[in-house]
């Protein structure tokens, strides 16, 4: 985009182009690129966690393996989210759209709580669709994010 540097007001078309440039730069500051693998890995890990919970009271060795895997994946998800979300960059105090963050957290919490509350009455299979929906939402958010930022 080029608009005149000095002298005279811009035309409406130049003003529109300047505003689009400004909006694009603002968006690029708010949405920093994340590694392309981040959202797919997160979606798979979350789905794995839900599927492990769908196992109906495993016994013996399988129980130990399920518990160990659940803890390992949960810890990995926490570390992954923490490292990507709170890594140090050259950006300080970037504005956060809390509406989006809290909305996403509320949906994730609802999808996690639904099987916790319903598994005893309807069966542990309820973990499967809830996990699939949450994983799809995470993957879809990742695709949308990568398209919006155009990087990563």
Partner 1 sequence: MAEPRFDELIHAPHRLRICAMLSQAQGIEFGEILQRIELSKSALSKHLAQLVEAGYVAESSIVRSGYSRQLLALTPSGRAAYAGHRAALQRLMEEG
Contact positions toward partner 1, by CB under 8 A?
1-3, 5-6, 9-13, 15-16, 18-19, 21-26, 28-30, 88-95
Under 8 Å between Cβ of 110 and 22: no
Under 8 Å between Cβ of 128 and 44: no
* Residue whose CB is less far from partner 1, 19 or 143: 19
Write down the least CB distance from residue 98 to partner 1, Å. 14
* Residue whose CB is less far from partner 1, 28 or 80: 28
Write down the least CB distance from residue 112 to partner 1, Å. 31
Nearest of 78, 134, 70, 125 to residue 104 by alpha carbon: 134
Write down the least CB distance from residue 29 to partner 1, Å. 4
Q: How far apart are CA 104 and CA 2, in angstroms?
A: 38
């Amino acid at each position: 985009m080029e608009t005149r540097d000095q002298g005279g007001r811009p035309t409406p078309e130049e003003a529109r182009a300047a505003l689009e440039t400004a909006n694009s730069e603002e968006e690029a500051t708010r949405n920093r690129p994340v590694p392309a693998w981040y959202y797919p890995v997160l979606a798979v890990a979350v789905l794995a966690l839900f599927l492990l919970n769908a196992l109906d009271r495993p016994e013996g060795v399988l129980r130990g393996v399920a518990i160990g895997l659940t803890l390992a994946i949960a810890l990995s998800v926490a570390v992954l989210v923490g490292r990507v979300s709170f890594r140090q960059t050259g950006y300080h105090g970037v504005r956060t759209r809390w509406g989006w963050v809290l909305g996403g957290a509320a949906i994730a919490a609802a999808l996690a709580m639904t099987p916790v509350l319903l598994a005893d009455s309807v069966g542990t299979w309820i973990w499967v669709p809830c996990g699939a929906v949450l994983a799809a939402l995470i993957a879809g958010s990742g695709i949308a994010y990568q398209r919006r930022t155009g990087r990563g």
